[in-house]
Every structure is written in C-alpha cells, then in structure tokens.
Structure 1
C-alpha cells in the first residue's frame, strides 16, 4: 500500500503533466491561429482583382523630370548636375528651343567641355534651318 507521501507525488506528477498538456495545446492553437490571421489577409489580397492603374506616358514622365530639375535650378542656379539633366531631358522631349538657355549656362560654367559647345552650335544651326 502506497504511503501518503507517494500518493502525493503521484498526484502531483499527474497534475504537472495535465498542465503541460494544456499549455502545449494552448500554445499550438495560438501559433496556428496567428498563422491563419497572417495568411488570410494575404490570400484575400491576392485573390482580389487589381485595379488597372493608368500608367503615365514616357513624355509626361520626362516633363516631370524637367520640372524637378527646374526646381533644383531655382534653388541652385549653377548646379551642373541639374543643368545637364535638364538639357538631356529636353533633348529627349525634342524641345530644342528650351534647351538653348541651360546649355549656354553649361558652356559658361564649364568652358573646358567642348561637347557642350558643339551641341549648342548644332542646336542653333537646327533652329536657324527650321526658321528659314
């Protein structure tokens, strides 16, 4: 016949084992529940049709870039990077009339760069040809 001390230890072990099982079950439910709550919105978002976004035309993107360079030049009128960027964007837009002013400024700021001078001369020749 087991003594009262042994009965207590056996009862205590059973009680500890039940608590472990409960904690394990609660932990598993919590883990799987949090996983489900993370996955469901992702699945819903993937299953919804995406609205068609109006993609901007390349020309409008170039115009936005030109406006950005112009804003920089208002703050820093002698910013070489912004001047070069503005010239390149306006050349891509084939806006030769508005290329002349920033290109002349580049020639003044960087007289050592002959490619600016050559480009300015070419654009001015095109302007005179188109005006005739």
Structure 2
C-alpha cells in the first residue's frame, strides 16, 4: 500500500511542477513581450519627435530668411525708391510670405514705372485677388 501512495504523491508533485513551469514560462514570455513593446515604442516616439523638431527648425529658419530678405529690400528702397530689382524682390518675398496686401504697393510702383510689363500687371491682379 505504501508504494501505491508514494507513486500517487509523486505524480501529484510532478503535475504541480509542470503547471508551475508552464505558468512561469507564460509569465516570462508576457513580461518579455511587454518590455520589448515598450522599448520599441520609446525609440519610435523619440525618432518621430526628433523629426518634428527638425521640421519646425526648418520652418522657422525659412520664415526668418524671408523676413531678413524683406528687411534688406526695404532698406534698399529707402535709398532708391524706384529700384526695380528691390521692388521685384520685395513683392516676391511678401507673396512668398502670404502677405498679399504688403505686395500690392511695390507691384503698383512697378506697374507705374514699367507699364509695358504684363507680368507686373498679372501679379498685381493676383495680389488684389483678381484672376
């Protein structure tokens, strides 16, 4: 009788050990999976934020470049109010900055100075909102 009880108790121990091993294995796989997911998510968000920062810096530098060009053309026009190159540059910069109202004045001066230039008239019409 003792041998029968010993065998059955050994089976119970083995069954319990197998269940514990499976549970431990499933727990480790779950932990490892969640850790890997977290690490991948961390690096992914870091890369996308760096990309967004670079885009923002490029936008700021483009805007500051246009603003500097505008100031330069205004400075030239203070000395030479009829300078064709400065008037064209100022109008183009302001149009690029989506400042259509600001582009009207230099374009009107260009049309007065060069009434034969159809491109100035077209740009003036576009700046005023006419097609």
TM-score of the two chains, using structure 2 as the length reference: 0.52
User: Structure 2 matches for 1:79-98, cutoff 5 A?
Assistant: 79-98=83-102
Cα distance in 2 for partners of 1:119, 1:64 equals: 22
Residue in structure 2 matching 1:68, options 68, 72, 85: 72
User: Which aligned runs of 4 or more in structure 1 are off by greater than 6 angstroms?
Assistant: none
Task: Give TM-score, length-normalised by structure 1.
Answer: 0.52
Secondary structure at 2:129's aligned position in 1? Answer: helix
Number of residue pairs the alignment of both structures matches = 73
The match for 2:113 is 109
Q: Which runs of 5 or more structure 2 residues have no equivalent in the other structure? A: 1-56
User: What are the superposed Cα offsets for residues 72-103 of structure 1, whole Å, 9 maximum, x if unpaired?
Assistant: 00000000000001011111101011000000
2:43 equivalent in structure 1? none
**Structure with the larger helix share:** 2
| Aligned mates of 2:114, 2:75 — CA distance in 1 | 21
